[in-house]
Amino acid sequence: MKLLSPTNWPEYELIDSGDFEKLERFGNRIVARPEPQAIWDKSLSNDEWKKMADAYFINGKSDKGSNFKNDSEKGDWKLKPGLKEQWFIEYRYQQMCLRFRLGLTSFKHIGIFPEQASNWNYIYDTIKGFQLSNTKVLNLFAYTGGASLAAKAAGAEVTHLDSIKQVVSWAKENMEASGQQDIRWIIDDAVKFVSRECRRGNIYNGIILDPPAFGRGPEGEMWKLEEGINNLLKNCNQILSPKNSFLILNIYSIGFSALIAENFAKSIFGVDNPEYGELFVTDRDSRRLPLGVFVRFKK
């Protein structure tokens, strides 16, 4: 089992964590927001947090025990005077330079999941290693497109799918900010789209899945991770190339073990030794904050 965390990212830092909150620096901004897995005590005092934070998420109900990526409770941000709600940060790795527009949303998210940087590196290295003339990558539940941008930076033909129009528009902004073009954008239900791709016989060299615990498609389609993920992965197996291919599955739902992800890779995709484990970030007091499980493999 592997433990993966971002390294060499000057524009991101987890400053402190605890009491179901986290204090993070994104570029030159410091934000404080809920974090259901930070169940220990903070290292810094609440007064220190309030003094440091440029933006503090408030007025939402406590999301103790809720799902990190898919909170249903809305809230508001308290900003320091004169602070804008949007700003940009960069992520660099080898020849890859990704630029993200961040923003304060009513669901506490800001447009990026920094723990995914390890997977961005993996995507970039894997595609470069294939040395194919045309590498097709499908990014499902793709959010604001970090994985899509990493694949595009490596030269892949990328299909980016999410069910929320506004999120896809946000991903387009990130593509343009990163100096990229020609990503294929799709607003659709992931389950339906993959099923259609199976019938069409379309094949991909890479599939990335970042499914929520709960969600709805653009036409109200209901998604529950524990009920839908097994069949979705079976269909993904039908459209994944048997060679020169890779797959990444991220699971954020609290209570899901990395061993579950490993079992999917072995039983559905026939991979004997997939990489699997936890994603985390470390605060200044050397405490590792878990932020989801993953499995990934190459063929």
For the chain, the average pLDDT equals 93
The reply to whether 154 and 284 lie within a common domain is yes
Residue of 4 and 59 predicted with greater confidence: 4
Task: Note whether residue 294 is domain-resident.
Answer: yes
Q: What is the pLDDT of residues 212-257, one digit of tens each?
A: 877 778 878 887 888 889 999 999 999 999 999 999 999 987 788 9
Residue 263: inside a domain, yes or no?
yes
Is residue 103 a part of any domain in this protein?
A: no
- Whether the pLDDT of residue 68 is over 60: the answer is no
**Does residue 62 register a pLDDT over 70?**
no
Looking at residue 249, which CATH number applies to its domain?
A: 3.40.50.150
Same domain, 121 and 267: yes
Let me know whether 191 and 154 are in one domain.
yes
pLDDT > 60? residue 93: yes
22 and 71 co-located in one domain: yes
Domain end point (choices 72, 88, 104) = 88
Tell me whether residue 252 is in a domain. Answer: yes
Confidence check: pLDDT of 73 > 70: no
φ/ψ region of 259 (left if φ > 0, alpha if ψ in -120 to 50, else beta) reads: alpha
Tell me the C-alpha distance between 204 and 208, whole Å. Answer: 11
Contact (CB, 8 A) for 299 and 243 = yes
Nearest residue to 212 via CA among 233, 198, 228: 228
Same domain, yes or no: 150 and 290: yes
Amino acid 59: pLDDT = 65
* Confidence check: pLDDT of 71 > 60: no
Domain membership of residue 20 as a residue range? 2-88
Please name the residues in contact with 112: beta carbons below 8 A apart, sequence gap of 6 or more: 26, 89, 100, 102, 144, 146
Domain containing residue 47: CATH number = 2.60.40.1180
In a domain, 95, yes or no: no
Identify the weakest region by mean pLDDT among 128-137, 224-233, 236-245, 280-289.
Answer: 224-233
Confidence label for 69 from pLDDT (cuts 50, 70 and 90)? very low
Residues 23, 153, single domain; the answer is no
Q: Which of 113-117, 177-181, 226-230, 280-284 has the lowest mean pLDDT?
A: 226-230
pLDDT of residue 255: 81
Residue 123 half-sphere exposure, CB side, CA atoms within 13 Å?
Answer: 32
Q: Is the separation of the CB atoms in 293 and 119 below 8 Å?
A: no
**pLDDT at position 63:** 41
70 domain residue, yes or no: yes
Query: What's the rounded mean pLDDT across residues 145-157?
Result: 98
- Res. 258: pLDDT tops 90: yes
- 185 and 255 part of one domain: yes
Kindly state whether residues 287 and 222 are assigned to the same domain: yes
Of the three residues 70, 88, 106, the one that is the final residue of a domain is: 88
Helix axes 225-239, 190-200, angle to 10 degrees: 20
Answer yes or no: do 121 and 253 share one domain: yes
Q: What is the mean pLDDT of residues 29-33?
A: 97
Share of the chain above pLDDT 70, in %: 95
Mean pLDDT (whole number) for 84-104: 97
Asked if residue 101 is part of any domain, the answer here is no
Residues 119 and 244 in one domain: yes
Is 22 part of any domain? yes
- Give the count of domains, the chain: 2
Specify whether 171 is located in the same domain as 279: yes
128 with 236, same domain: the answer is: yes
Q: What is the pLDDT of residue 87?
A: 97
pLDDT, average across residues 189-201: 97
For the record, the structure tokens of 286 come out as: 């050397």
